[in-house]
Amino acid sequence: MKRSILRGFGLAAVAAVALAGCSSSNNSGSGGSTPTSGGSTAASSAPSSAPSSAPSSASEAAVTLTMSGWTFSTTPEFKTLADAFHAAHPNVTIQLKEYDAKNYDTQMTADLAAGKAPDIYELKNLQDFITYQSGGQLMDVSDVAASYSSGPGKLSGLDDYKVDGKYYAIPYRQDSWVLFYNKDLFAKAGVPVPDGKWTWDDFVTNAEKLTTALKAAGDKDALGTYFHSWQSVIQGFAQSQTPGASVTGDDYSYLKPYYQRALELQSKGAMLSFNTASTQKATYQAEFGKQNAAMMPMGTWYIATLLSQQASGDADKFNWGIAPIPQYDSSTFSNPVTFGDPTGMAINPAIDKSKVAAAKEFLSFVGGQDAASDLAKIGITPAYVSDQVTQTIFSAPGAPTDDLSKWTFSNHTTKPENPVSKYTQKIQSILNDEHTAIMSGSKSVDSAISDADKRVKNEALNQ
Amino acid sequence: MTTTALRSPSRSRAHKRRRLVVRNIVVGWSFLLPNFLGFAVLTLVPVVALFYLSFTDWNIFGHANWIGLANFRRLVHDDSFRIAVENTIYYTAFHVPLTLAVSLGLALLLNRKMRGVAFFRTAAFFPYVTSIVAIAVVWNMMLSPEKGPVNHLLNVIGISHPPGWSTSTTWSMPTIIIVGTWREMGYFMLLFLAGLQTIPPELHDAARVDGASAWQRFRKVTLPYLRPTTFFVTVILTIWSLKVFDLILVMTNGGPGQSTLVLSQYIYKTGFENSEFGYASAVSVALFFICIFITAIQFYVNRRRNR
């Protein structure tokens, strides 16, 4: 009784804030690590497979689990996982509930607060993990996590979900940032392709060389590189690669060399300027896919997009490859440092007790070898890393076949873009303000960094 | 005057009247009820809840702990809140008079008999019914500093360093004000047109006979008669300006830096992005009181002038 009053009150309050702030539109994602597209609002969809057949044994009663997901029309992973699990466990049926990709966390938060959330739900990014965890909305799944200690491959990103020694989610997908490059444009410019041993200074030199050479070769549109307007394109690398750098610290001077290089590329015309990219709403898919840039730092999710766009004709047909992202210095060439957030599955603690065992079974499935190869087949980078997964990804028609691309895909240290802390969300929002100020040319790097130091202290750490 | 014989019918008449009054009240209420219910459920209850939440540390999950005035103390020292208030006032201070002048000018221009007046009225109203997202995208493209047609044009007429518009911290707010004015002028033009229709033409004729110039007629006849309309437009326009949200969210998202961060957007950010619903409620309460305060001043000034 008391709970339901609180819930009702909670809902009313959400509406209140919405009305008082007269919110209506979407929050435009800036640091998002997964490509999103518009979708319908939450609506139940039919179970992805036929009703469960007879239980395999008398003790296994039929169980129906509900699971969230977003934009089913372009995000096939949820159905793939649900179908594969149902095939292996015919007594368990998984019903999918669709959410809007852009407002996923807002909608999920409201559903959880109202007690209407599905049994299993995804953590779309790490930024909101702490909100769910500290709010008591995640079931402890340490027993499932413990089962991954042995096996042929390795589950990356698992430790990001660890708080005080307990695990609260299982990663099934782990993208990381690499350097995409257009082999045809490199050949046209007569510049040797990346050899996997580049620092950021090498990257800048080559981007400028490419720009001049491509212009000389008569290609008016192509520039050396393209940096998407997200803050992570610059800050993510500075944070993950600079020794001692921290997102949740109070000294952001480590960002300076990374911004200076970006500003140099911009002023020399070796990449589309931030102002043009943001006012023209440039998309990274078009900039690289239409050969406007010879190189582009981007997450591995773009592999699947590029393959399908080249097949459909939305992108030009050209030879491309991936190389390790340029490094802070030569010491990390053998195991390049990059960043990326895992996508995880978690169990809603409000789940019916009789369903917990099946839900945990499902979680243990999504982080394992079988689910990983199913995901790799549809071009998704699973969190479970093994040679077999790499082979599956690169056997797709149109995928690069060179050794560096394969090596890049399986060899790297991926640090989280949003280290788990109650301050992360606020700090990223402050850093995004300073990112737009620097890249638009409105503020000098130094004054933006000192403002960031000050604001993080006043608005986040001391609150 | 009443005799005993007439008493009984009169009593029944009084009785009838009372029944009529009750009936009228019931009918009145039943007409009001659907609207009032909607208002109560969707506005009144949430607003009351909002006031309560502004004294708590609620983060959507778990309990809302009463923390007294802590949120408001934090507001006082919050630089981002101060910037948001300044930017909101900046926007309002320029957007209200500009929109008022432009929409009144348009209304005067289109309040005459001429060819194609319906077309021009529709054209002026069009921005108001266009999707805000489309408006923001198209304006952003037109005002793009390096590749936009506006700056090309400025270059052609000899301005070698045209403004950076939405990408410069000094020009971003003027850009928002211009686009906001362009978007809303049609709606307020319509209100002014309706107001202009109520002015009796005889007054203008009489003034003209007395030798009043066009400017004198505008000052002494048109403006005084438009007072109720102008007052209404000013109040609505001010409240809209203080609550501006969607245009900024889609056009600059508060940037570059914090140069276009306004209160509504700050509420959205603290509430829905940082999950600090208690603090976001406190900011909403502050916005609420700013709106009330400014509207009260406007009513006071209007009443004094009416005297």
Q: Is B267 within 8 Å of A21 when comparing Cβ atoms?
A: yes
Question: What local confidence, expressed as pLDDT, does residue B284 receive?
Answer: 95
Exposure string for B231-266, b = 16+ CB within 10 A, e = fewer: bebbbebbebbbbbbbbbbbbbbbbbbbbbbbbbbb
Q: Could you read off the pLDDT of A58-79 as tens digits, one per residue?
A: 346 789 999 999 888 778 889 9
Residue length of chain B: 307
A25 Cα to chain B: minimum distance (Å): 6
User: Per the structure block, which two tokens stand in for B234?
Assistant: 């000013």
Domain count, chain B: 1
Count of pairs with CB atoms under 8 A, one residue in A, one in B: 177
How many angstroms separate the CA atoms of A52 and A89, rounded?
9
Q: What is the ipTM metric for this complex?
A: 0.81
Q: Is A112 on the interface with B (CB under 8 A)?
A: yes
Q: Is A13 within 8 Å of B58 when comparing Cβ atoms?
A: yes
Residues facing residue B56 across a β-bridge: B66
Question: What local confidence, expressed as pLDDT, does residue A51 receive?
Answer: 38
Chain A residues near residue B280 by CB distance under 8 angstroms: 17, 21
pTM of the full predicted structure?
0.81
Question: What local confidence, expressed as pLDDT, does residue A151 receive?
Answer: 60
Chain B residues near residue A443 by CB distance under 8 angstroms: 169, 256-257
Chain B residues near residue A168 by CB distance under 8 angstroms: none
B172 Cα to chain A: minimum distance (Å): 11
Chain B residues near residue A425 by CB distance under 8 angstroms: 273-275
Of A12, A21, A131, the CB nearest to B268: A21
Q: Is A111 on the interface with B (CB under 8 A)?
A: no
Q: Splitting chain A (463 residues) into consecutive groups of 10 residues, what average pLDDT does each group show?
A: 48 46 37 37 37 42 91 85 92 93 87 91 89 90 82 77 92 93 94 93 94 90 93 94 88 94 94 91 91 94 87 91 94 92 93 92 90 87 87 87 90 88 88 93 92 90 78
Three-class secondary structure of residue B243 per DSSP = coil
Q: Which CATH number fits the domain A177-336+420-461, given the four candidates 3.40.190.10, 3.40.50.720, 3.40.50.1220, 3.40.1740.10?
A: 3.40.190.10
Q: Is A16 within 8 Å of B46 when comparing Cβ atoms?
A: yes
Residue B12 belongs to a domain = no
Of B61, B243, B273, the CB nearest to A22: B243
Q: Is A16 within 8 Å of B47 when comparing Cβ atoms?
A: yes
Of B53, B61, B145, the CB nearest to A275: B145
CATH of the domain at B189: 1.10.3720.10
A349 Cα to chain B: minimum distance (Å): 13
Residue position matching structure tokens 């990663």: A171
Question: What local confidence, expressed as pLDDT, does residue B232 receive?
Answer: 93
Q: Is B144 on the interface with A (CB under 8 A)?
A: yes
B120 Cα to chain A: minimum distance (Å): 30
Are B63 and B49 in contact, with CB atoms under 8 Å apart?
A: no
Q: Is A436 on the interface with B (CB under 8 A)?
A: yes
Chain A residues near residue B284 by CB distance under 8 angstroms: 16-17, 20-21
Are B223 and B279 in contact, with CB atoms under 8 Å apart?
A: no
- Helix H, strand E, coil C: the string for B246-289 is HHHHHHCCCCCCCCCCCHHHHHHHHHHHCCCHHHHHHHHHHHHH
Are B283 and B81 in contact, with CB atoms under 8 Å apart?
A: yes
Nearest residue to A205 (alpha-carbon basis) of A225, A184, A188, A176: A225
Question: What local confidence, expressed as pLDDT, does residue B9 receive?
Answer: 64
B148 Cα to chain A: minimum distance (Å): 9
Are A209 and A417 in contact, with CB atoms under 8 Å apart?
A: no
Residues facing residue A43 across a β-bridge: A98
Q: Which helix (H) or strand (E) holds B230?
A: helix B223-242
Q: Is B284 within 8 Å of A20 when comparing Cβ atoms?
A: yes
How many angstroms separate the CA atoms of B203 and B196, rounded?
12
Q: Is B267 on the interface with A (CB under 8 A)?
A: yes
Chain A residues near residue B77 by CB distance under 8 angstroms: 458
How many angstroms separate the CA atoms of A229 and B166, rounded?
15
Question: What local confidence, expressed as pLDDT, does residue A45 receive?
Answer: 39
How far CA B284 is from CA of A107, B114, B177, B263, in Å, comes to 21, 47, 22, 8
What are the extents of the domains in chain A?
A: 37-176+341-385, 177-336+420-461
| Second-level CATH architecture of A37-176+341-385 | 3-Layer(aba) Sandwich (3.40)
Residue of B nearest to A437 (CA): B257
**Dihedral angle computed from the Cα positions of residues B125, B131, B135 and B136, in that order, rounded to the nearest 10 degrees:** 140
For A248, phi then psi, to 5°, come to -100, 30
Question: What local confidence, expressed as pLDDT, does residue B162 receive?
Answer: 86
Mutate to test the interface with A, among B179, B240, B268 (most CBs of A within 10 A): B268
Of B61, B257, B271, the CB nearest to A137: B61
- Helix H, strand E, coil C: the string for chain A is CHHHHHHHHHHHHHHHHHHHCCCCCCCCCCCCCCCCCCCCCCEECCCCCCCCCCCCCCCCCCEEEEEEEECCCCCCHHHHHHHHHHHHCCCEEEEEEEECCCCHHHHHHHHHHHCCCCCEEEECCCCCHHHHHHCCCCCCCHHHHHCCCCCCCEECCHHHHEECCEECCEEEEECCEEEEEEHHHHHHHCCCCCCCCCEHHHHHHHHHHHHHHHHHCCCCCCEEECCCCCCHHHHHHHHHHCCCCCCCCCCCHHHHHHHHHHHHHHHCCCECCHHHHHHCCCCHHHHHHCCCEEEEEEECHHHHHHHHHHHHCCCCCCCEEEECCCECCHHHCCCCEEECCEEEEEECCCCCHHHHHHHHHHHHHHCCHHHHHHHHHCCCCECEECHHHHHHHHCCCCCCCCHHHHHHHHCCEEECCCCCCCCHHHHHHHHHHHHHHHHCCCCCHHHHHHHHHHHHHHHHHCC
Residues of chain B predicted below pLDDT 70 = 1-10, 307
How many angstroms separate the CA atoms of B62 and B51, rounded?
18
In terms of residue numbers, what domain contains B125? 77-306
Q: Could you read off the pLDDT of B279-298 as tens digits, one per residue?
A: 999 999 999 999 999 999 99
Are B233 and B100 in contact, with CB atoms under 8 Å apart?
A: yes
Q: Is A12 within 8 Å of B256 when comparing Cβ atoms?
A: no
Q: Is B164 on the interface with A (CB under 8 A)?
A: yes
Q: Which DSSP symbol is given to B78? A: -
Domains A37-176+341-385 and A177-336+420-461 share a fold: yes
Q: Could you read off the pLDDT of A280-303 as tens digits, one per residue?
A: 888 899 999 999 999 999 999 898
Q: Is B59 within 8 Å of A440 when comparing Cβ atoms?
A: no
Are A340 and A232 in contact, with CB atoms under 8 Å apart?
A: no
Class of residue A332 by CB neighbours under 10 A (exposed 0-12, middle 13-18, buried 19+): middle
User: Per the structure block, which two tokens stand in for A101?
Assistant: 């990709």
Give residue B79's region: left, alpha or beta (phi > 0; psi -120 to 50).
alpha
How many angstroms separate the CA atoms of B44 and B36, rounded?
10
**Which residue type does A192 have?**
P
Q: Is B60 within 8 Å of A113 when comparing Cβ atoms?
A: yes
